[in-house]
Amino acid sequence: MPGYLYLAIAIVAEVIATASLKSVKGLSTPLPLLLVIVGYAISFWMLTLVVRSIPVGIAYAIWAGLGIVLVSVAALVLYQQKLDTPALLGMGMIVSGVVVIQLFSQSAGH
């Protein structure tokens, strides 16, 4: 179970870092820059712990898939960036893929 806790932390840290990128304007905005640097550092550190107990391909699929969806939600909330129907359908397919991996794949390390 710690692998999935580390994975959740990695995803949240990556989402914070990625959502902060839009606000970085060089060194004139130190807080967003710090969020980007620290967020990605935590995310990759947690991923190094994740792959000790979850296969790297599975961990990356979950990290990337959920990251895409959560970054899009953050962009909607923070920057009012709306997605069209094809983008929403594509993200639905990504989430479906992660669900299939978790429910049916023997590779997921249950």
More confident residue, 14 or 103: 14
Which comes out higher in pLDDT, residue 55 or 1? Answer: 55
Q: Which residue has the tokens 């959560």?
A: 70
What per-residue confidence (pLDDT) applies to 105? Answer: 82
Q: State pLDDT tens for residues 13-33.
A: 999 999 999 999 888 899 999
Given a cut of 70, whether residue 109 has pLDDT beyond it is no
Could you give the CA distance from residue 47 to residue 49 in angstroms, rounded to a whole number? 5
57: closest CA among 17, 101, 18, 95? 101
Query: Any idea what DSSP says for residue 52?
Result: T
Distance CA 54, CA 2 (A): 10
Domain boundaries, the chain: 2-108
Under DSSP, the state recorded for 27 is: B
